[in-house]
Structure formats: C-alpha cells, structure tokens
Amino acid sequence: MNDGGVLFGTLGAGLRDEYNQPLRALDPVFGIMGSKREFARDAGRPLYEMRKLTPLNTLLPVADSGLPQVRMNQLCSRETLTPRPNAQTVFKLEDGSAGGVLNRYGAGLALRLASFPGVEYIHDAVTAKEYWGDLGRKAPYNQMPRKFRPALRDLIAWPANHAGAVRVAECDAPIVEFTRYDSPEATVVFIIDHDIEPRANFRFTLPDAARFRHARSARGRGVRMRPRPNGKLQIELSLDMTDIIVLTR
C-alpha cells in the first residue's frame, strides 16, 4: 500500500489473524480506530438459508463520495466502524455511525465496508419474484437468477476498476463466465454460458491477445478471429453452453 494499489475489505476484514486472535495491523491502512462487530447468522446456501436472511441494519451512501451511490444491508452480521480523523466516511448506518470508510495510505487507497456486498448481490437475485415466478416453494434449478442490482455490482467492481485491473474478457452475452490460462506458447480460455441457451454468433474480446494467429475449439466448432485496437482480439463462434478455446501463434 505504501507504493500504491487498492485494498478492499468487507465486514470483519483485518480484525482477526490466522489463529483467530485480535489483529490491529490493518486498522491504520483501512483508516479505522476500531470496530464493533456482532455475528448473527451464516449466509447459507443461496436457494435455501440465504433466501430467509432479513436486514439487520442498512448502509446509506454519503453523497459526493466518489463511489457508486447504492444502499446496502447488513444481512449476516452487524458492524460499526470508528474512522480515523483523516479517513473519509462513505457509508453511514441508520443511526449515523460509520458503515464504510475510504482511506489513503501511502500511495494507495483502502476501502472498508461494514457489510458483505457479495452476499447481498446474490440475495437480491434469489429472492426476486421474477426468479421464482409461479413455482411457489419449488426451487428453479434450471435457470440463473437475473435480478442483480447494477449499482451494487458497480460498487463491488469499483476497487478493481480504480486500480486499473483488466477484465479477463468482454462479451455480448449477460451471464458468461471466462477463465483464462496463459503460457509462453498458448492461451487457453474456458467459457461457460449460464444462460443455457445456444448462441449461433457468440462474440467475445480478449485483451493482450492480438499476437495469436490460430484458434481451436474443443467442440470442433469454427472459430473466427479479428484483431482489435490496443492489442485486443475478437473471437466469434457458435456456442452451446460451454467450450474451450486454444489460441496459438
């Protein structure tokens, strides 16, 4: 952090060491003097226990903080932060106490939230009426939830974007998972389309890949390649849920 970078911590981050003993080393990095935390319950499985979680408290965004303006709930635990004098409070709890702190440390920046935004991101989607439809209590195992909050997603991604992290891939489909492995000779890209729908013309773009001249599909599909500016490579193929693309020079 002295030399730069971005550190992101959620509820309880940096408070205990690997032996479950109190830890204060990260307090000055996160810009807090202490934290009062109370465990309530585990998040559980998304389609079962997580659906029953109810808010314990609410984090309200502070205007002009530079962060995405989004409300968040404390679903599993309660926590109140005590900011240091030079730290910026970016979220407040309902009683006005600090629920999120942004702090400059050396050349770096640290964001500490008194919530689990990832848990709430999933909780929003699996409790949405659109997800369950007319199925009642029967879990919709054959479809992915879609009612995710864009503003909350932007907050979760904010530290990575602020640090200049590069996306693994960009594509024209909403629920696609990419995993990329690089070696000196080749790059391998695993693709999973959680929409579970065949796509005749699936396109995605990889950064730092314009050097490749050949592409093969593990399913034997035809793969079309097109160089893009700034060293990017666009790839197009027919996708049926999953595939593995091998890129070579």
The dihedrals phi and psi of 200, each to the nearest 5 degrees, come to -70, -35
Q: In terms of C-beta distances under 8 Å and separation of at least 24 residues, what long-range contacts does 134-139 make, across chains too?
A: 139/47
**Does residue 56 share a domain with residue 129?**
yes
Give the C-alpha distances (Å, rounded to integers) separating 162 from 3, 82, 166, 182.
15, 24, 11, 24
**Does residue 238 share a domain with residue 207?**
yes
Which strands sit side by side in the sheet containing 232-239, from one edge to the other?
A: 170-171, 199-206, 232-239, 223-228
Q: Which of 134, 162, 190 is the last residue of a domain?
A: 162
The segments of the chain whose pLDDT lies below 50 read: none
Q: Are 152 and 71 in contact (CB under 8 A)?
A: no
How many structural domains is the chain composed of? Answer: 2
Amino acid 214: pLDDT: 96
- Answer whether residue 1 is part of any domain: no
**Does residue 154 share a domain with residue 63?**
yes
- Answer whether residue 202 is part of any domain: yes
For 230, the 3-state DSSP assignment is helix
- Answer whether residue 223 is part of any domain: yes
Give the C-alpha distances (Å, rounded to integers) separating 188 from 28, 228, 241.
41, 19, 17
Amino acid 175: pLDDT: 84
Amino acid 195: pLDDT: 82
Amino acid 75: pLDDT: 96
The dihedrals phi and psi of 180, each to the nearest 5 degrees, come to -120, 135
Q: Which of 162, 195, 226 is the last residue of a domain?
A: 162
Give the C-alpha distances (Å, rounded to integers) separating 239 from 46, 67, 179, 195.
28, 36, 16, 11
Q: What is the pLDDT of residues 32-88, one digit of tens each?
A: 998 999 999 999 998 889 999 999 999 999 999 999 999 999 999 999 999 999 999
Q: How far out from the chain centre does Cα 133 lie?
A: 26
Q: What is the DSSP string of 32-65?
A: EEEEEEEE------TTTTGGG---SEEEEEPTTS
Domain enclosing residue 229, as ranges: 170-248
Amino acid 139: pLDDT: 54
Amino acid 135: pLDDT: 55
**Does residue 189 share a domain with residue 106?**
no
**Does residue 41 share a domain with residue 158?**
yes
**Does residue 125 share a domain with residue 56?**
yes
Give the C-alpha distances (Å, rounded to integers) separating 164 from 5, 120, 147.
9, 25, 27
| Alpha carbon distance 7, 211 (integer Å) | 32
**Does residue 195 share a domain with residue 86?**
no
**Does residue 109 share a domain with residue 225?**
no
**Does residue 93 share a domain with residue 128?**
yes
